[in-house]
Amino acid sequence: MSRWIITLLIASLLFVFIEFYAFQALKTITKNKYIKWVWIILAVVVYGNFLYTILSTPRSAGQTKAFQLAFGLLLTFLIPKLVMLAVMFGEDVVRVIQKMISVFSNGETKPLNGRREFVSKLALGLAAIPFASFLYGIVKGRYNYKVLKYKLTFKDLPDAFNGLTITQISDIHAGSFTSKEKVQYGIDMINEQKSDVILFTGDIVNNKATEMDDWIEMFKKLQAPLGKFSVLGNHDYGDYTKWKATAEKKNNFQAIKEVHPKIGFDLLLNENRVLEKDGQRIAIVGVENWGKGFNQSGDLKKASKGLEKEDFKILMTHDPSHWEYQVKNDNFNYHLTLSGHTHGLQMGIEIPGVFKWSPSQYVYKQWAGLYNEFGRFINVNRGFGYHAFPGRVGIWPEITVIELEKGAANA
């Protein structure tokens, strides 16, 4: 208990420090007491709601929509104030330096007239950018589905599968959805691709199998003539919920595995399936979750049983760290790996073909999009759903379409 009290005290002091500097900017540019009181009341409501949600939600409930909303509002109001803090604190540092110069030079260094007001307006202007972005991310961005298409060429692709199309989706996180109309729009976009195969790379729920109950009929309408295959993600194991008994967690895990056939997906648990055409074949390999530093149930050797090194292989593994630490250097040669997990942190900046940045890149070497090493590829899907923060800012929900082509390998 004492640790919680200390943590709460430190967090409170930090928030007070941030609010103090943000409020200084507001006071500098307006004397209207009503605006000031609205500012203060909003801060109290946002912080109070987050604290209440944390303290009132039992761990057995897992991550709830109420938590996501509270966390989303906290970020929406806090991130802009951090921007204001950086600007205002920076200006204070300059003033201190000027004062020190004045003292040591026996002279007087006066700040420019109106500088404080200018800096305050600058701080508020800059803060408005993330504030508007986060609001858009919550209201619109979380369902702003994008279709990203790639064509990959392999010299050893069997001729019969030249032109094979794959649609990859990942990280459904059904417990976060709030709009059947918007999710149906995403499902329709997937079916519009008319791909030969649909591959789902894990995290069908946040915590519990029941989260999918309202969405089964919708997702079972996904269509692919050569099959729909899936694997588990880290959230599918129930490790982020405090269960009343071990048996309850075990039953939930079994129920999550049973959801996959209910929506027409063949769940691969460290196993593979072979697609045959005109006497030729390719393999779909699916491992359980393998993540650097936590759950490592994935077993490549077991999943590849019965296959040959020369077989063309498409590997599904939820966490891209698996590719980095095991798959890409494996001599058994997994031609194409499909992962998800990172969500691109659901926030960042992307200008296609020009610039791509997210805090996620400081955790994962492969965090969003297509990567190629040793002639082997991995695509890290940004996710169909969302988790924790109930929105997306600059990193949109993704439907990936990959076409395989026979020919000289991609550079």
3-state secondary structure at position 224: coil
Q: Which residues contact 288 (CB under 8 A, 6 or more apart)?
A: 231, 232, 269, 270, 297, 298, 299
The position carrying tokens 């929506």 is 263
- Token pair of 255, please? 């129920």
Q: Mean of the pLDDT values across residues 184-212?
A: 97
d(CA 24, CA 22): 5
Q: Which residues contact 3 (CB under 8 A, 6 or more apart)?
A: none
Phi, psi of 250 (to 5 degrees): -65, -45
Assess whether pLDDT exceeds 80 at residue 334. yes
d(CA 218, CA 214): 8
DSSP code string of 123-152: HHHHHHHHHHHHHHHHHTGGG--EEEEEEE
Is the distance from CB of 161 to CB of 153 less than 8 angstroms? no
Q: Lowest-pLDDT range, 101-105, 161-165, 209-213?
A: 101-105
3-state secondary structure at position 283: strand
Interval 49-88: pLDDT, tens:
999 998 898 888 888 999 999 999 999 999 999 999 998 8
Comparing 408 with 355, the larger pLDDT belongs to 355
CATH architecture classification, 141-406: 4-Layer Sandwich (3.60)
CATH 3.60.21.10 boundaries in the chain: 141-406
Is the distance from CB of 202 to CB of 249 less than 8 angstroms? no
Q: Which residues contact 70 (CB under 8 A, 6 or more apart)?
A: 49, 50, 52, 53, 54
- DSSP H or E run through 286: strand 280-286
Interval 3-50: pLDDT, tens:
767 877 887 888 888 988 888 888 888 889 999 999 999 999 999 999
Is the distance from CB of 344 to CB of 358 less than 8 angstroms? yes
- Token pair of 222, please? 């996904």
Mean confidence (pLDDT) of the chain: 92
